[in-house]
Structure 1
Amino acid sequence: MYRRWIKHNSPTMVITIEIRKMYRYPFERVVDMHLNKYPTPLEEHVRDVETVEEKKDSSGIIYRRRIATCNNVLPNILRRMRLMNVDNVHMEEESWLDGKRKTMNIQSRCLTWSQYATLQEVSIFRESTANPNWTEFWQTGSISVTGVGRLNRLFELFAQSFFSRGLNKSVHLMEVILEQRYGHPCS
């Protein structure tokens, strides 16, 4: 897995992470796992994922908009701000699945706390050009904190740790579920 951190120096703190991962499973299986991996006992912080919109256009591309309900994982010191002390955090995911071209593009964002921070991810799954039985995965995520005053530095430290842990856990979770369902990866 390839990973790169970028910290932007600007009046507002912005952290970006880019990753690449090759799943040694066919595209259809990886996409199915992504769309159906939650909720699972392997990830206790994602409690529910609801598809709120799904449609297919004339070219066969399937659009989905889903809302995930997650536990608030902010540490107590950051939850001292009344607006940060919520039980549920809501994430929105929009995806465009092109079965003919074997690509799925995803845009995700945090709906909770949008007045204080922007959390966004852009992901792509596509059939590998190196091996049609494998799936390439790219993701770019960014967070910018704009309005928490003296707590900006704490949010920055938490964001770096959260992104790193979350990314590792998400990739590992996909690998575990794929192996449980389909056996060892394709060569």
Structure 2
Amino acid sequence: MVITIEIRKMYRYPFERVVDMHLNKYPTPLEQDVRGIKTVEEKRDHVSGIVYRKRIAVCNNVLPSILRKLTVMDVDDVFLEEESWLDLKQKTMNIKSRCLTWTQFATLQEVSVFKESPANPNWTEFFQKGSVTVTGVGRLNRLFELFAQSFFSKGVQKSVQVMETILEQKFGHPCS
């Protein structure tokens, strides 16, 4: 079974500020499960100006103890990969993220887009679609799917809230 989550959000801040916050928001005390992010590759296409980045995030394992009874699930660190393509000319940033841990049991992927709002150039539209597919834990697949659906939904909402809070702390109240 594939579990999907979609979110749309309008940040009432200019594109450059929102993208900068996305790229620099972790680590933060507002989200203790993301312990750090390291850029492992960065390059700029000199013709298009697009900046490509590959980053690895180190996160806490948030699986409940019942799911961690499987030895393979009882790890401290969970690794996520994020690839992004930032186009400052077009004011868009496309992102693909995936979980690198437990790939033999599940696939977790997200596709996100930040872009300048056509309705107001001082605002930034955000769209994210994520999916989780659990395949490799036999009779426990459904239990993992239920956890993934709940965690994924809460995680997306928390990520948006963290962005809003950091933007407001750094730049004040949103633009109208």
Aligned equivalents of 1:74, 1:151: Cα separation in 2: 13
Please tell me the residue identity of whatever aligns with 1:28: E
Give how far 1:47 is off: 0.3
Give how far 1:103 is off: 0.2
Pairing 1:164–2:164 present: no
Aligned equivalents of 1:165, 1:52: Cα separation in 2: 28
Pairing 1:184–2:173 present: yes
How many correspondences in the alignment? 175
Residue by residue over 1:29-60, the C-alpha shift from the partner in whole angstroms, topping out at 9 and shown as x without a partner, is 00000000000011000001000000000211
Match of residue 100 from structure 2: 111
Provide TM-score, normalisation by structure 1. 0.93
1:143 to 132, 142, 159: 132
Pairing 1:65–2:54 present: yes
Aligned equivalents of 2:169, 2:129: Cα separation in 1: 27
Give how far 1:156 is off: 1.1
Over 2 Å off, 4+ runs:
none
Give how far 1:120 is off: 0.1
Task: Determine what percentage of the aligned residue pairs are the same residue.
Answer: 78
Aligned equivalents of 1:48, 1:168: Cα separation in 2: 20
Pairing 1:55–2:39 present: no
Give how far 1:18 is off: 1.1
Pairing 1:36–2:32 present: no
Provide TM-score, normalisation by structure 2. 0.98
- Partner SS state of residue 122, structure 2: coil
Provide structure 2 residue ranges, at least 5 long, that are not aligned to the other structure: none
Larger deviation: 93-102 or 159-168? 159-168
Provide structure 1 residue ranges, at least 5 long, that are not aligned to the other structure: 1-12
What is the root-mean-square deviation in Å for CA atoms of aligned residues?
Answer: 0.5
Give how far 1:67 is off: 0.1
